[in-house]
Every structure is written in C-alpha cells, then in structure tokens.
Amino acid sequence: MTRVNNGGNFCGHDPAAPRLDLRSSTDKQRPKILRALQERICRYFSNPACLPSLNAANQSTRQQRSERREACLLALSVILEFLDLSSLRCGVPTSTGFMSLTVEYLCSFTGMSQRRMERALADLKRANIVTVAQPRQLQADGSWRGLAAVKAVSQHLFTAFGLTEWLKHERERATKRLAKKASKAGGTLTQWARTHLVIGGRSDRAANKSSSRPGQTRIDPQTWSKARTELAIALQLKHPDWPATAVNKEADRILTERYGAA
C-alpha cells in the first residue's frame, strides 16, 4: 500500500493548520501562569525568532521545519501541563517523593508517536529550554533499571514571554504551600530534609552497615534521586532567591558530603 504524505514527513502535519493543542485534557486545575505560558509559546510557530535557541536546535542556519516546531510546542505544552511550580519539574508530588512521568504517558496527551516526542525533547534540551536527567534503580539481581526521566523547564522560558514577576509570585506561593506541608509533618524544614527525606527512612546505624568507607553512608541510586529532589525543594524553600543551578549544586554537595556517591 502506497503511503500518501500530506506534509510533515508522514506525521499528519499541515503547515497551514498546525495542531498546537493537546489531544486530550488532563482535567487538572493548573495555575493560571501555566495556561498563559502554554498560550504564549504558540507564538513560536509563526515567529521562530521569539525562541532563537530552539530555532537553532537543528544546528543549521535554516529555520526549523514547521512540523518540528509543531512537535516541540506539543511536547513543551504537555510538560507545562504537569509542571510543579516550586521545582519547575514535570511530574506529580506523592507521599513517597516526586514522581516523574514517562515519555509514553506524556505522548498519550499529544497524539504524537514516542519517537517524534523524543526528537522534540532532544530539540528542547539542545535549546536549553528543558533539562532531562535519567535516574536508574538498582535491582535485586544487581542489574540496573532506568526510571522515568526527570524533565525540568528553565525559568528563562517564562522570562522570554514576559512572565518573570508572575513566576516569582507563583513560586513563592508554591513554596509556602510546601513549607506548610513540612510543618504538618513535624519539625523544622531543615529537620524534615535531613532526616525523613535525605535519609529516606533509614537509620544511620543500619545504613552504616552497608557503608564502604568508615564514617560515610552509601545509599542506592533510587534513594539518592528521591533525596536529591526533596532536598532541592527544601533548599528552594529556604533560599527562594537562588537560581536552580545553585540549588542543585548545593543539594549535590550536601548529599555527597554526607553519603558519598550513590
């Protein structure tokens, strides 16, 4: 059977009528700032100059192809749909830590194939709009299993569309909500991060039995990843004026100093 290409390398893209809305709703009550950003990023399709780093993601002097622009905007829109404002990470906070969402799950809201979504994420990453980190979990048989990649949005994306002050206000509100939850859990924010979150429910005595070096505790990659996420949130609460790079660097320093490498 002969395939008919109506434009966009058989992906169903129509340059004259791009599909920039998500295919299905999440029925989530999202902050207004995220809905506003979802609307404003659509300007990129007709005006690639508003996000020059993304336009140059193909490492060419040519303008990014229209079907690629459509894919990047859909990928970015679904990430914003699940964005946590306090950490700017895509996922869902749970009682056991922050849960990142898989590419397959995000694809279900866009109508894109997984391969097309992955290419769009690669462009967003090269454009420094989204960062992607791949945590791993150590299995009982000694093998490693990849977990859902952690996807975070740069705060500069908000700045590029005139939302800097609004973002600052909303993040302050979000961090206050987290602080309230920490208070209900008992103790100060510092204690909350150092004990329940950083140690992950393990006592120093039990953990030290598995330590490979005297006076230092080794923790598995899954616990490390969870502790790093929660500690970063705690640091952001304590230092709301710190940029994400400083928060992540300090979280890594504290964990490495206390526990060594994962």
HSE, side-chain direction, 13 A CA sphere, residue 209: 4
How far is 121 from 116, CA to CA, in rounded Å? 9
Per residue in 65-85, pLDDT (tens digit) is: 999 999 999 999 999 999 988
pLDDT attached to residue 70? 95
- Give me the chain's average pLDDT, please: 75
Task: Name the amino acid, one letter, at 131.
Answer: T
pLDDT attached to residue 14? 73
Q: Above pLDDT 70, what percent of the chain? A: 61
- Please, is 30 exposed, middle or buried when counting C-beta atoms within 10 Å of its C-beta (0-12, 13-18, 19+)? middle
How far is 41 from 47, CA to CA, in rounded Å? 10
Per residue in 81-123, pLDDT (tens digit) is: 999 888 888 988 766 667 788 889 999 999 999 999 999 999 9
Contact call for residues 90 and 82 (beta carbons, < 8 A): yes
pLDDT at residue 202 tops 60: no
